[in-house]
Structure 1
Amino acid sequence: MEELFGKNKRECPEPIKADVQGQLPDWLQGLLIRNGPGMHTVGNSSYNHWFDGLALLHSFHFKNGEVFYRSRYLHSDTYTVNMQENRIVVSEFGTMAYPDPCKNIFSKAATFLANTIPEFTDNCLINIMKCGEDFYATSETNFIRRIDPSTLDTMEKLDYSKYVAVNLATSHPHYDSAGNIYNMGTSIAEKGKTKYMIIKIPSTIPEGGKKKSCFKYMEVVCSIPSRWLLNACYYHSFGMTDNYIIFIEQPFKLDLLKLATAYMRGVNWASCLEFHPEDKTLIYVLDRKTKKIIPGKFYTDALVTFHHVNAYEEDGHVIFDIIAYEDNSLYEMFYLANIKTSKDFEDKNKCKSKPTCRRFVIPLQHDKEAPVGANIVKLTSTTATALKEKDGNIYCVHETLTDGIELPRINYGYNGKKYRYIYAADVDWKPIPTKIMKFDIQTKQKLTWEEEHCWPAEPVFVAAPNGKEEDDGVLLSSVVSSDPKKSPFLLVLDAKTFKEVARASVKADIFLDLHGIFVSEADLPRNISKET
């Protein structure tokens, strides 16, 4: 287990040809780019948490039936100064470093905390974001790093806070039909007036615009005030339909006063997060046209969610699906001190709360005269309810679609629309996936792929050109093995039948990653070489 989690991975900056078994579709041309933690020790110092490791990018280039692999460490400011000092000197979420020789740890983000909100790392290790013809490595801070998708070279750093007042941002943005980006960030403002901000980044420079960067035209679509004075909820993603944005304010709270004093108290920032099961989970639905929150207080029981699956509209209702937990034990399992042998890890680190895929329904309009206790959901296609309470609040009760899955993906052409299929890692009670699953929401049928000693990554759906059905395409998953005699490989599954189409085995140090995207050959930037 330490071999897979705690060992530093060797980068492979020059492309190497994979051994392809099976027949790749002729139309599969482009790049699968993935991101995740690859370096967990620097000199004699070690990160405490697996999610803290230095970002390692890797890609699989599909070209004329062949596959080429490469990987490179993200040369962030964090990476550079750590390498120069030969030790960890920049703090990460689960690892506090002393001293931090980068910029002063105190920022001017919040005068009510005596200018003590820390400046965060630019170790962007979670996802890849496309903005026009540019690509960025992202995490959950206000920093992102532009990368060359072909060579994986690191380029300039961008700071969201220079354009909008956010200190944190999600690594799971959404894209509308024009390619514009929608994202969410937390703004820690003066006098404790913390807000969640929905931001829009145009995919192109507006006509007549004189500034060269799309980020200079970033706008705040809407802001939602935190219900707590000195706390902000943690969130990893959000939902979006054609007309609405869905935000869940869960009682998984970041204590801002503890955050500001963590360095002085000698604790990591993760210790400032705490789940409050006695609190409610609030649900906000924003009208993208009016930029206003729809009226009514919608809430459900306390939960923790990291990933939204999808959301859509139907007959005056907004329906959204999430992966939810009853507690926050998932994060705790990935402290490297807990990761020893495979047997120990699986036996001792099972989720206390099993992940469930839950469907919630929000009626956009309802009869104000409806009696107390009435279910104001008028759909017959779901068992999810929204119950009117005496004070006028609406208590939302979910429908459980399935359980034991994480890292959900869909055919993104159906994002914001009524859809049928979820592709995900089948984790059951364990944090490490051993299967990939296709779940049919309509029939509740499940198809799975698994192989002994294999751990597949998040499956990425790639739609077939001219495909007529939602599942016309393939799934791509980077697979590592706990068997040292077995080479890692890129798995290609037929998304409809879940039969293996091909695999591309690579003699390289492939690692367990987090998230990524597929970029078709036609969408690769024109100003960057497409040569392998």
Structure 2
Amino acid sequence: MHSIFVRNGQETPEPVKAQVTGCIPSWLQGTLLRNGPGLFSVGDTEYNHWFDGMSLIHSFTFTNGEVTYRSKFLKSETYKRNMKADRIVVTEFGTMSYPDPCKNIFSRVFTHLCNIIPDFTDNNLISIIRYGRDYYASSEINYINQVDPATLETVGRVNYRNHIALNLATAHPHYDKQGNTYNMGSAVIGLAPPKYMIFKVPADASDKDGKKPALRKVQQVCSIPFRSSLFPSYFHSFGMTKNYIVFVEQPFKLDIVRLATAYFRGINWGSCLRFDKNDMTWFHVINKTTGAAVSTRYYGDSLVVFHHINAYEEDNHLVFDLICYKDSGLYNMFYIDFMRQDENSLEQVQKNFPLPVSQRFVLPLNVDKKSPPGSNLVTLTDTTAEAVMQENGSVYCKPDILFEGLELPGINYDFNATKYRYFYGSKVEWSTFPNKIAKFDIATRTHVEWHQESCYPSEPVFVRSPEAVEEDDGVILSSVVSPEPSISPFMLVLNAKTLKEIGRATIPVNVHMDLHGLFIPATA
């Protein structure tokens, strides 16, 4: 794998002006914040996994057809502790850190037995979340770090547990038309009974003086009990429609006992996730207003899901689209030793890993318990998805296969929770990192692509044009890096209808590959 993906990134603390070729639309005004791992070694110590690298936050600011870039490391407590020690001293998901090696074995064991359930890192490297008018670097832990979107300075750390009884929370919330933020977390350990939880942060939650976190106004929407207290389902995102929350309880599970004894066993947290190919996937549908679950039990075959694409209601059906895998092998592709293999070896091994598949599930909302077993309850005509009545009253769901090879999906977010036609994503072709951008048309089942040799684009972000009439009126933004010295990093601007390039902004400093982000309009 090209070294650009695992080398340490660099800060660009002051804005630098990019060189624009083509045309950046004058209506495109705002800042695209991006987040991802950017520091993979400290002193003589190295992280084991790409998802462990310390957060490097990027901003691309669009003003009157011009683009400026800056980046800063998130100044989390994890970052500060590692820098002070000049070594990795805080455990991450794939890298276990032990106390000072000068301590004897008895001291080390005693330290960890006193802290069986570890306090997680606050290295928020996955995405950017808005709560009220505040912006936070986020990952899947109980901490988030507020950042200033203009300067990228780290404002301060917030602990979910000080405001709501959660151990973990996702980095992929939903925003409704009123500006409220919905997110999902879980009460895993030390909180009884264990449960998954949906919560809401109102649009007006921010403190006018900026001294109190928006989370102080957090509200619980509903909770879902674990099917197994010792093996809760892993989740990275969830679905939301106008009236419902969709939670996919997949057979990709966290082994709580293994997690609790990870230090003592000398294993990393990543190894505490297990995929049970013989288990079912359960689909929970919860009314957003009442917090009550739909009584019908929906289930499907085993799968692994990280990203939801969209969800909506139509003619008493709930439709939701997922990026699915047949097993949990994806995580192993990002171990840094694996990524450092030569290109030929890497390509051969990667062909054994499953490609992501975009799948559509359709759940009938008003199930007649008298329906004959074996009957398909889906009456929508534009999908082959099925919901088959079972003798015990449960419903077995078979997906409609939309597209293969697409990850990091995005849509015109104006169509979130409503019926939509298009989604965008990074196209994966036997590579750890995507090398194409694709747009998929659900109605015609066709797609178009953008590709440039030796270029690796980040997650595509849709920004609607101010005079938009159609769903795909707007642009796609993606930061692009290349291992070729002759190709400088650039911000790519595509016509969202055609995926034809309309402009690019070449950046005169190093830019690191990232994960997720958020576009903040200039008027926000």
d(CA) in 1 for partners of 2:338 and 2:141? Answer: 26
* TM-superposition CA deviations, 1:242-261 (whole Å, max 9, x none): 10010000010101111011
Alignment of 1:79-118 (within 5 A): 79-99=79-99, 116-118=116-118
| Residue of structure 2 in register with 1:366 after alignment | 367
Alignment of 1:256-271 (within 5 A): 256-271=256-271
Alignment of 1:25-64 (within 5 A): 25-64=25-64
2:131 matches 1:136: no
Query: 1:114 and 1:8, CA in 2 relative to 1: closer, same or farther beyond 3 A?
Result: closer
Give % identity.
52
| Residue of structure 2 in register with 1:527 after alignment | none
d(CA) in 1 for partners of 2:382 and 2:72? Answer: 47
| Residue of structure 2 in register with 1:236 after alignment | 236
d(CA) in 2 for partners of 1:326 and 1:212? Answer: 44
Query: 1:153 and 1:213, CA in 2 relative to 1: closer, same or farther beyond 3 A?
Result: closer
Check whether the contact 1:106–1:116 (CA below 8 A) recurs between aligned residues.
Answer: no
d(CA) in 2 for partners of 1:89 and 1:287? Answer: 43
* TM-superposition CA deviations, 1:77-100 (whole Å, max 9, x none): 000000000000000000000118
d(CA) in 2 for partners of 1:299 and 1:502? Answer: 45
Alignment of 1:98-497 (within 5 A): 98-99=98-99, 116-190=116-190, 193-205=193-205, 212-340=212-340, 341-350=342-351, 352-497=353-498
Instruction: In structure 2, give the amino acid aligned to 1:451.
Output: Q
d(CA) in 2 for partners of 1:363 and 1:115? Answer: 46
Check whether the contact 2:109–2:264 (CA below 8 A) recurs between aligned residues.
Answer: no
Q: Aligned with 2:514: secondary structure?
A: coil
Instruction: In structure 1, give the amino acid aligned to 2:185.
Output: G
5+ residue gaps, structure 2, are 102-107
| Residue of structure 1 in register with 2:104 after alignment | none
Check whether the contact 1:386–1:397 (CA below 8 A) recurs between aligned residues.
Answer: yes
Instruction: In structure 2, give the amino acid aligned to 1:380.
Output: T
Deviation at 1:189, TM superposition (A): 4.6
Which has the higher mean CA deviation after the structures are superposed, 343-352 or 293-302? 343-352
Instruction: In structure 2, give the amino acid aligned to 1:473.
Output: G
Check whether the contact 2:136–2:145 (CA below 8 A) recurs between aligned residues.
Answer: yes
d(CA) in 1 for partners of 2:238 and 2:446? Answer: 26
Query: 1:334 and 1:259, CA in 2 relative to 1: closer, same or farther beyond 3 A?
Result: same
Deviation at 1:350, TM superposition (A): 3.5
Instruction: In structure 1, give the amino acid aligned to 2:201.
Output: I
Root-mean-square deviation (CA, aligned residues, Å) is 2.1
| Residue of structure 2 in register with 1:520 after alignment | 521
d(CA) in 2 for partners of 1:140 and 1:343? Answer: 34
Deviation at 1:23, TM superposition (A): 1.0
Deviation at 1:64, TM superposition (A): 1.3
Moved segments of 4+, more than 4 Å? 104-107, 189-192
Query: 1:88 and 1:212, CA in 2 relative to 1: closer, same or farther beyond 3 A?
Result: closer
Check whether the contact 1:90–1:100 (CA below 8 A) recurs between aligned residues.
Answer: no
Check whether the contact 1:189–1:195 (CA below 8 A) recurs between aligned residues.
Answer: no
* TM-superposition CA deviations, 1:426-464 (whole Å, max 9, x none): 103433111100000001121100001000010000000
Alignment of 1:495-514 (within 5 A): 495-514=496-515
Deviation at 1:115, TM superposition (A): 7.0
d(CA) in 1 for partners of 2:110 and 2:92? Answer: 15
Deviation at 1:345, TM superposition (A): 2.7
d(CA) in 2 for partners of 1:355 and 1:205? Answer: 37
Check whether the contact 1:329–1:352 (CA below 8 A) recurs between aligned residues.
Answer: yes
TM-score by length of 2: 0.95
Q: Aligned with 2:79: secondary structure?
A: helix
Instruction: In structure 2, give the amino acid aligned to 1:166.
Output: L
Instruction: In structure 2, give the amino acid aligned to 1:56.
Output: L
* TM-superposition CA deviations, 1:244-284 (whole Å, max 9, x none): 01000001010111101101111100111010000000000
Deviation at 1:342, TM superposition (A): 3.6
Q: Aligned with 2:216: secondary structure?
A: helix
Which has the higher mean CA deviation after the structures are superposed, 422-431 or 323-332? 422-431
Q: Aligned with 1:292: secondary structure?
A: coil
Query: 1:115 and 1:507, CA in 2 relative to 1: closer, same or farther beyond 3 A?
Result: closer
Q: Aligned with 2:183: secondary structure?
A: strand
Check whether the contact 2:223–2:291 (CA below 8 A) recurs between aligned residues.
Answer: no
d(CA) in 1 for partners of 2:315 and 2:207? Answer: 36
Query: 1:426 and 1:11, CA in 2 relative to 1: closer, same or farther beyond 3 A?
Result: same
5+ residue gaps, structure 1, are 108-112, 524-532
Deviation at 1:117, TM superposition (A): 2.0
d(CA) in 2 for partners of 1:347 and 1:205? Answer: 51
* TM-superposition CA deviations, 1:329-350 (whole Å, max 9, x none): 1000100010123443333233
Instruction: In structure 1, give the amino acid aligned to 2:388.
Output: L
Deviation at 1:188, TM superposition (A): 1.7
Alignment of 1:11-30 (within 5 A): 11-30=11-30
Task: Tell me how many residue pairs correspond in the alignment.
Answer: 515
Instruction: In structure 2, give the amino acid aligned to 1:441.
Output: I
Check whether the contact 1:192–1:230 (CA below 8 A) recurs between aligned residues.
Answer: no
d(CA) in 1 for partners of 2:191 and 2:65? Answer: 59
Check whether the contact 1:105–1:119 (CA below 8 A) recurs between aligned residues.
Answer: no
Deviation at 1:176, TM superposition (A): 0.9
* TM-superposition CA deviations, 1:487-518 (whole Å, max 9, x none): 01000000012110100001211011000011
TM-score by length of 1: 0.94
Instruction: In structure 1, give the amino acid aligned to 2:347.
Output: E
Instruction: In structure 2, give the amino acid aligned to 1:485.
Output: S
Instruction: In structure 2, give the amino acid aligned to 1:337.
Output: D
Check whether the contact 1:329–1:351 (CA below 8 A) recurs between aligned residues.
Answer: no
d(CA) in 2 for partners of 1:334 and 1:100? Answer: 27
